[in-house]
Amino acid sequence: MRNARGGNIPDVLKFAIDCEKFGAQGITVHPRPDERHIKYSDLKPLKQFVTTELNIEGYPSAEFIKLVLEIKPHQVTLVPDPPDALTSNAGWDTQKNETFLRDLILPLKNAGIRTSIFIDAEPINMVFALKTGTDCIELYTEAYASNYLIDKEKALMPYIRAAEMAHSLGLKINAGHDLNLENLKYFNDNIAHLNEVSIGHALISDALYYGIENSIQMYLKQLN
């Protein structure tokens, strides 16, 4: 919203601080080469002032890896969408990209940064995710959200199996993409050992109607 018009309204740093004050348990940003979501210049101030958790997600280009090694957020989430993608539209094939991901994750872990990789809900992905050395996996939940109103039990089943496999391997379980006030509670209630969810577009869309403080509290209620 700020970047569409220029200037500094809304103030992203103040907004992040206020979100924490209103109950948010972490701040996720996704810097892209065209800076349409967040500007690179926002990252150092965010790392300085975010007191919960700063999660930087993005495609692991050389520039991105250099950036996060400099900022050292609490968590880095690696997503496979190329720089020209409108939004994330697939998870990593961890079997195919095992070596590629392992080589990226090692320097992040050596820098003390917790790592997460964005993957589809296939049990085989969990097995090879472990081999990459990642700390966490983030389940790509678009398929669940798209099919929730059609058959929520069927939509959720692959995620239950994937989460069980991830937990058995000692991986922390995150989730995100298209989770909202309608489908979040059912997901949270039925996915054992869910560690965190990243919610951006739906939260800000709801804030247009309810205000950001109320929206955060509404989401927390679904998770509690």
Q: What is the pLDDT of residues 22-66, one digit of tens each?
A: 999 999 999 988 888 899 999 999 999 999 999 999 999 999 999
Residue 136: CB partners within 8 Å, gap ≥ 6? 75, 114, 115, 116, 117, 171, 172, 173, 174, 195
> What predicted TM-score, i.e. pTM, was given to this entire model?
0.93
Q: Tell me, what CATH number does 17's domain have?
A: 3.20.20.70
Hey, what are 223's tokens? 């998770």
Catalytic residue among 20, 30, 98, 196: 30
The total domain count for the chain is 1
Question: What range defines the domain where residue 83 resides?
Answer: 2-223
Residue whose token pair is 């509690």: 224
Q: Is the pLDDT of residue 224 over 90?
A: no
Q: Known catalytic residue: 30?
A: yes
Q: Known catalytic residue: 138?
A: no
Catalytic residue among 57, 98, 138, 196: 57
Q: Known catalytic residue: 182?
A: no
Hey, what are 114's tokens? 């917790």
pLDDT in tens, 109-165: 999 999 999 999 999 999 999 999 999 999 999 999 999 999 999 999 999 999 999
Catalytic residue among 20, 98, 138, 177: 177
